[in-house]
């Protein structure tokens, strides 16, 4: 295991360093074969600092070593894509010289350990990824997964995570406008916090991370470096064992006030033409940003840690390289602009320090106190880190569950009233009222709808934003589940009238060294890729979070999809609330009564079984385009896409949002009633149109070969169905709004 | 209207406020940095917008209240100039001694962003002449510390002198606990000083002025101010 030759440089060996033992290597998350790769690469034993650097750059979170080979199969291009995956965030062209910059990222492991700060710094990190590209953030969303409500930690996690997201976003000053929250026992030991940020920039004023030019100053910007978060990235690349609590020092601590100052200062220096390249310091802090900037630009980087602003005394090189202190950026500066840039940072009260320079040789060299602490090949650390093609097995597809085989445990009305109060379907108002969702004055559609809608600057354009995924579908059939996640996002955007443009994906899975987990990952990616291709909905950014397991029990496969769509005129967007009585309710799309993997089957029959509903991408496109045209023509007065809970839940959602009921025609007799009302067939929407226009719309549908049925009329104070007692909107609303606040107040088991 | 909007580090609703002032008065306001010691010549309205000035460190508004620019604001107010503080701005005015009382943490200890109903108690102030007395308006709140508290003597004086200008209420104007989201004493949402030229309020009227985005009940406040200042000019 010992190296075979002395140190590469002719500087003196570093005294007083701990011996590199197999235990120390393992603690750093490096497997024996990976360590051997280090030895082969540098021809000697690494210093402690170098070991830390490899640990950071080659861990799963930073290197994507288990996922890269599969991520390459995703479609990432399109006529409106300016920058695909590989940069801090993705960039799409939204016309009129504007670009939308966005990405979703995970902060799962830290949030489980320290929910407030874990979630807060997740938001902070993703905001930086967006503004480091020169975009002013305009919105945040998030996708949250928590354990079963009965699990002792769940309330604590929900409370902390939501407070943390709100605490950071509200203070920073960006509206948090949407997201999703789900509960399932498979997240008992591993919650998921996926944070998405969206920003706007001028499309020819985007800043990238690749350094260019030899001898350029490398500048440290922002808050001082402390001892927080060391090994945060390595912690996120491993499962939790019994000792999860002891990992608290690995959680970073955020300060949104500093980040707001950092945002303004960065946008200022960008405007003044000071920046050649810029990258935020996130996972693995100074190490990752410096290595990536050099590696991407095919340049070397030399750092002098004596110049790094610290808020703790006597920090070691190891600590400075691995600290994940927040609110810091690294940039390559135009040398002639140094004084101007520094003055801007002083005005905003932030640190500005020249800590290194770009070099011609492709080495990453770190000096501290006169010693060379690290001297490593930069490409192999960065974009040429190890890549694995891990073995995988695909789970057999479950049997389809026939509707006739499911005995309804209760009547339709009782079933609906129960379902709207289940954890996954209930109102999440308790969550989103803790987020300032109106700051900046551009929120056209607030949380609670199919997608958030924002006005772009002073209009007329609008952006639609959503996050979605159905993990139980992915667990049952990863390919169909991956397809469905993308299709549902696409539907959410369509249902508000937007043209879906692009995707950011946050892929959350268990331990990739287990072939069945790797199989889930590969299957979901295949499904996502197929749907993105078929729907012209490319992936422009994303994040992978693996090792979401505790004591061998993995989360449900959860590939969160974040979608962005465009409206040419934000005033034409549609919302799901019924608008008035007397309007025709039309159902777009085929209903076969698919109960497999449905919320109905799980919550009311206690069965998590069956194949998930299949996704026909051609139908998705045809049905969606038909609905969108009706919205933009002003014919559809309300629109909603169908998902969890099926048709009757979707109708209830439209009624509860408005206070207006509906009189529904009887279900066609060809399938059992409960399957008709609660089945989760895909590619379906509900729209309302003025009664006088219904026939016209049905005619248009026939001509377009899109299946559309008139299923009722709006009005009254209840959902009325022949043969059932009326389902009063007031009662539905009480149940819908009541579950989560009562649960969080600790009054339910 | 020659408005000056104060910008402290961490204030984050200055753009919302500037946009609304421009929309309602036809003129862009001056954005005044906290380190400035003077207000622009001819300023006739000072607005302190919402946010988390100085990160809400120490206490909300405590550090901002001691900024150089606040001396100029105090002089301006002493000479009868109109001052409007919204949310963090209200907190800053209390910390600066321009208004009595203090804003404490919401009673449920959480940040709340939602639409509330306010009863406009008086229409004979420069800030509320755009409304009728007793009118109920719908405006959003977005705060974690909006729970107005003062000692009983101060409350008695505020009430006795008719200096409570806005109160949280039900959609039909009734004051009750269910419609007081933060627990403020007497459902107090906004007050004026003795002279009536300095108003602090927790809700955000500046976010409800555009029909394309949402309700427009906030317009009355700014329309009223614009009219007062036009007459005075």
Residue A3 has pLDDT above 70, yes or no: no
Chain B residue numbers with beta carbons less than 8 Å from the beta carbon of A166 are 111
* A435 in contact with chain B, both atoms CB, cutoff 8 A: yes
Query: Which of A433, A437, A440 is opposite residue B16, by nearest beta carbon?
Result: A440
Cross-chain Cβ contact A173/B12 below 8 Å = yes
Task: Tell me which residue has tokens 């953030």.
Answer: A137
Cross-chain Cβ contact A440/B55 below 8 Å = no
Query: What ipTM is given for this predicted complex?
Result: 0.94
The rounded Cα B114 to chain-centroid distance in angstroms is 17
Cross-chain Cβ contact B10/A171 below 8 Å = yes
Best mutation target, B8, B9, B12, to test chain A (most A CBs within 10 A): B12
Cross-chain Cβ contact A441/B210 below 8 Å = yes
Residue A9 has pLDDT above 50, yes or no: no
The values of phi and psi at residue A39, to 5°, are -60, -45
Chain B residue numbers with beta carbons less than 8 Å from the beta carbon of A443 are 213
Region of A510 please: left (phi>0), alpha (psi -120 to 50) or beta: beta
Mean pLDDT of chain A: 94
Asked if A166 contacts B111 with a C-beta cutoff of 8 angstroms, the reply is yes
Cross-chain Cβ contact A257/B9 below 8 Å = yes
How does residue A249 score in pLDDT terms, banded at 50, 70 and 90?
low
Least confident range of A134-143, A344-353, A437-446, A530-539: A344-353
Task: Please give the average per-residue pLDDT across A83-101, as a whole number.
Answer: 96
Residue A11 has pLDDT above 70, yes or no: no
The helix (H) or strand (E) run that includes residue A554 is strand A553-554
Residue A12 has pLDDT above 60, yes or no: no
The per-residue b/e assignment along A204-223, b for 16 or more CB within 10 angstroms, e otherwise, is eebbbbbbeeeebbbbbbbb
Q: Would you state the pLDDT for residue A748?
A: 55
Other CB atoms within a 10 A radius of the CB of residue B58 amount to 11
Chain A residue numbers with beta carbons less than 8 Å from the beta carbon of B206 are 441
Round to whole Å and give the CA distance between B127 and B84.
Answer: 8
Asked if A318 contacts A267 with a C-beta cutoff of 8 angstroms, the reply is no
Query: Which of B10, B16, B52 is opposite residue A441, by nearest beta carbon?
Result: B16
The values of phi and psi at residue A250, to 5°, are -80, -5
Chain A nearest CA to B110, separation (Å): 7
Task: Write out the DSSP string of A633-691.
Answer: TT--SEEEE--TTHHHHHHHHHHHHHT--EEEPPPPTTS-HHHHHH---SS-EEEEEEG
Other CB atoms within a 10 A radius of the CB of residue A58 amount to 24
Least confident range of A24-38, A577-591, B124-138: A24-38
Catalytic residue, candidates A28, A107, A231, A676 = A107
* A309 in contact with chain B, both atoms CB, cutoff 8 A: no
* A260 in contact with chain B, both atoms CB, cutoff 8 A: yes
Helix H segments across A420-496?
A: 429-432, 471-476, 478-495
Query: Virtual CA dihedral for A132, A539, A427, A444, nearest 10 degrees?
Result: 60
Question: In chain A, pLDDT over 70 holds for what percent of residues?
Answer: 95
Task: Please give the average per-residue pLDDT across A54-69, as a whole number.
Answer: 92
Query: Which of B9, B15, B210 is opposite residue A261, by nearest beta carbon?
Result: B9
Q: Would you state the pLDDT for residue B192?
A: 98
> For residue range B205-224, what is the model confidence (pLDDT) as tens digits?
999 999 999 999 999 999 99
Residue B35 has pLDDT above 90, yes or no: no
Round to whole Å and give the CA distance between A137 and A102.
Answer: 9
DSSP strands (E only) in A351-477:
351-359, 363-368, 371-377, 443-445, 452-455, 462-468
> For residue range A103-154, what is the model confidence (pLDDT) as tens digits?
999 999 999 999 999 999 999 999 999 999 999 999 999 999 999 999 999 9
The per-residue b/e assignment along B201-214, b for 16 or more CB within 10 angstroms, e otherwise, is bbbbbbbbbbeebb
Residue A749 has pLDDT above 70, yes or no: no
Region of A552 please: left (phi>0), alpha (psi -120 to 50) or beta: left
Considering just the CA atoms, what is the radius of gyration of chain A in Å?
A: 26
The helix (H) or strand (E) run that includes residue A747 is none
* pTM, full prediction: 0.94
How does residue A245 score in pLDDT terms, banded at 50, 70 and 90?
low
Residues 140-199 of chain A with CB under 8 A from chain B are: 163, 166-167, 170-173
> For residue range A598-655, what is the model confidence (pLDDT) as tens digits?
999 999 999 999 999 999 999 999 999 999 999 999 999 999 999 999 999 999 999 9
Chain A nearest CA to B103, separation (Å): 17
Q: Would you state the pLDDT for residue A185?
A: 97
Contacts of A10 (CB under 8 A, 6+ apart): none
Task: Please give the average per-residue pLDDT across B56-76, as a whole number.
Answer: 86
Residue B134: DSSP 8-state? T
Q: Which residue of B has its CA nearest to A456?
A: B213
Q: Would you state the pLDDT for residue A242?
A: 63
Chain A residue numbers with beta carbons less than 8 Å from the beta carbon of B213 are 441-444, 455
Cis peptide preceding A518, ω within 30 of 0: no
Round to whole Å and give the CA distance between A446 and A440.
Answer: 13
Q: Which positions of B are catalytic?
A: 87, 204, 206
According to the per-residue pLDDT averaged within each range, which of A20-24, A657-661, B58-62 is highest?
A657-661
By CB neighbour count within 10 A (0-12 exposed, 13-18 middle, 19+ buried), where does A185 fall? middle
Residue A243 has pLDDT above 90, yes or no: no
How does residue A235 score in pLDDT terms, banded at 50, 70 and 90?
low
Chain A nearest CA to B111, separation (Å): 5
How does residue A250 score in pLDDT terms, banded at 50, 70 and 90?
low
Round to whole Å and give the CA distance between A195 and A175.
Answer: 13
> Which residue, among A476, A557, A448, A541, has the nearest Cα to A503 in the 3D structure?
A541
Strands ordered across the beta sheet of B45-48? B30-33, B3-7, B45-48, B82-86, B198-201, B188-192, B164-169, B112-120, B136-143
Q: Would you state the pLDDT for residue A596?
A: 97
**Which residues does B contribute to its contact with A (CB < 8 Å)?**
9-10, 12-13, 15-16, 19-20, 51-52, 54-57, 110-114, 140, 142, 144, 204, 206-207, 210, 212-214
> For residue range A299-347, what is the model confidence (pLDDT) as tens digits?
999 999 999 999 988 999 999 999 999 999 999 999 999 999 999 999 8
How does residue B172 score in pLDDT terms, banded at 50, 70 and 90?
very high
Residue A723 has pLDDT above 90, yes or no: no
Task: Please give the average per-residue pLDDT across B188-200, as a whole number.
Answer: 97
């Amino acid at each position: 295991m010992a190296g075979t030759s002395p140190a590469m440089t002719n500087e003196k060996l570093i005294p007083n360093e701990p011996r590199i033992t197999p235990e120390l290597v393992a603690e750093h998350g490096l497997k024996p074969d990976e360590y051997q790769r280090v030895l082969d690469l540098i021809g000697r034993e690494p210093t402690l600092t170098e070991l830390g650097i490899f640990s950071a750059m080659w861990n799963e979170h930073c290197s994507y070593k288990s996922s890269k080979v599969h991520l390459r199969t995703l479609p990432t291009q399109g006529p409106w894509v300016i920058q695909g995956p590989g940069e801090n965030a993705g960039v799409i062209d939204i016309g009129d010289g504007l670009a939308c910059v966005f990405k979703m990222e995970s902060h799962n492991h830290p949030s489980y350990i320290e929910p407030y700060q874990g979630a807060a710094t997740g938001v902070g990190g993703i905001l930086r990824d967006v503004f480091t590209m020169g975009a002013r953030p305009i919105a945040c969303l998030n996708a949250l997964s928590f354990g079963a409500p009965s699990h002792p930690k769940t309330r604590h996690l929900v409370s902390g995570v939501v407070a943390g997201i709100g605490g950071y976003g509200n203070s920073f000053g960006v509206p948090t406008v949407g997201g999703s929250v789900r509960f399932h026992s498979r997240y008992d030991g591993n919650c998921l916090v996926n944070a998405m940020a969206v920003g706007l920039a001028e499309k020819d004023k985007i800043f990238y991370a690749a350094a260019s030019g030899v001898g350029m100053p490398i500048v440290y910007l922002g808050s001082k470096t402390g001892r927080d978060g060391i090994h945060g990235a390595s912690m996120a690349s491993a499962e939790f064992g019994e000792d999860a609590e002891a990992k608290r020092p690995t959680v970073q601590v955020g300060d949104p006030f500093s980040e707001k100052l950092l945002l303004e200062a960065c946008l200022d220096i960008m405007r003044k033409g000071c920046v050649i390249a810029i990258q935020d310091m996130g996972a693995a802090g100074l190490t990752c940003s410096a290595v990536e900037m050099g590696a991407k630009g095919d340049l070397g980087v030399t750092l002098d840690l004596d110049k790094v602003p610290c808020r703790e005394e006597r920090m070691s090189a190891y600590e400075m390289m691995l600290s994940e202190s927040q609110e810091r950026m690294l940039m390559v500066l135009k040398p002639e602009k140094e004084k101007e840039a520094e003055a801007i940072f002083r005005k905003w009260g932030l640190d500005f320090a020249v800590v290194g320079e770009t070099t011609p040789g492709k080495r990453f060299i770190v000096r501290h106190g006169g010693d060379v602490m690290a001297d490593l090949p930069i490409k192999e650390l960065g974009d040429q880190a190890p890549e694995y093609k891990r073995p995988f097995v695909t789970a057999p597809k479950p049997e389809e569950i026939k509707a006739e085989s499911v005995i309804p445990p209760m009547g339709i009305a009782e079933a609906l009233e129960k379902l709207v109060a289940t954890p996954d379907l209930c109102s999440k108002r308790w969550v989103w009222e803790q987020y300032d969702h109106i700051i900046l004055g551009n929120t056209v559609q607030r949380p609670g709808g199919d997608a958030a809608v924002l006005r772009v600057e002073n209009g007329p354009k609008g952006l639609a934003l959503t996050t979605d995924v159905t993990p139980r579908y992915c667990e049952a059939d990863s390919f169909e589940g991956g397809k469905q996640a993308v299709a549902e996002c696409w539907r959410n955007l369509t249902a508000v009238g937007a043209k879906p443009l692009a995707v950011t994906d946050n892929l959350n899975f268990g331990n990739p060294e287990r072939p069945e987990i790797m199989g889930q990952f590969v299957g979901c990616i295949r499904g996502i890729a197929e749907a993105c291709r078929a729907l012209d909905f490319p992936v422009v950014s994303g994040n992978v979070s693996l090792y979401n397991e505790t004591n061998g029990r993995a989360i449900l496969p959860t590939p969160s999809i974040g979608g962005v769509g465009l409206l040419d005129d934000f005033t034409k967007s549609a919302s799901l609330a019924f608008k008035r009585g007397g309007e025709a309710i039309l159902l777009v799309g085929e209903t076969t009564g698919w109960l497999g993997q449905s919320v109905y089957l799980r919550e009311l029959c206690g069965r998590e079984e069956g194949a998930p509903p299949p996704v026909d991408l051609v139908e998705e496109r045809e049905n969606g385009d038909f609905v969108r045209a009706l919205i933009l023509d002003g014919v559809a007065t309300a629109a909603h896409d169908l998902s969890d809970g099926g048709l009757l839940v979707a109708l209830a959602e439209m009624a509860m949002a408005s206070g207006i009921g509906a009189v529904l025609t009887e279900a066609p007799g060809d399938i059992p009633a409960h399957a008709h009302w609660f089945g989760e067939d895909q590619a379906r929407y509900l729209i309302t149109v003025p009664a006088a226009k219904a026939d016209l719309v049905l005619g248009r549908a026939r001509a377009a070969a899109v299946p559309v049925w008139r299923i009722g009329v709006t009005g009254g104070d209840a959902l009325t169905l022949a043969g059932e007692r009326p389902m009063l909107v007031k009662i539905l609303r009480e149940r819908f709004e009541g579950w989560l606040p009562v649960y969080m107040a600790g009054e339910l088991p | 209207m020659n408005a000056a909007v104060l910008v402290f580090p961490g204030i984050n609703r200055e753009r919302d406020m500037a946009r609304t002032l421009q929309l309602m008065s036809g003129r862009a306001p001056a954005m005044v940095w906290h380190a400035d010691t003077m207000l622009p010549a001819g300023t006739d309205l000072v607005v302190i917008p919402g946010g988390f000035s100085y990160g809400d460190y120490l206490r909300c508004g405590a550090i901002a209240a001691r900024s150089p620019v606040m001396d100029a604001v105090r002089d301006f107010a002493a000479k009868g100039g109109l001052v409007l503080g919204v949310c963090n701005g209200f907190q800053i005015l209390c910390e600066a001694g321009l208004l009595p009382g203090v804003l404490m943490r919401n009673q449920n200890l959480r940040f709340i962003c939602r639409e509330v109903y306010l009863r406009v108690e008086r229409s004979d102030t420069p800030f509320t002449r755009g409304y009728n007395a007793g009118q109920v308006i719908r405006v959003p709140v977005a705060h974690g510390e909006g729970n107005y508290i003062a000692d009983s003597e101060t409350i008695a004086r505020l009430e006795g002198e008719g200096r409570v200008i806005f109160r949280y209420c039900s959609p039909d104007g009734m004051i009750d606990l269910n419609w007081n989201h933060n627990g403020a004493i007497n459902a107090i949402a906004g007050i004026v000083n003795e002279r009536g030229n300095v108003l602090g309020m927790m809700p955000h009227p500046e976010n409800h002025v555009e029909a394309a985005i949402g309700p427009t009940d906030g317009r009355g406040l700014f329309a009223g101010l614009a009219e007062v200042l036009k007459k005075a000019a």
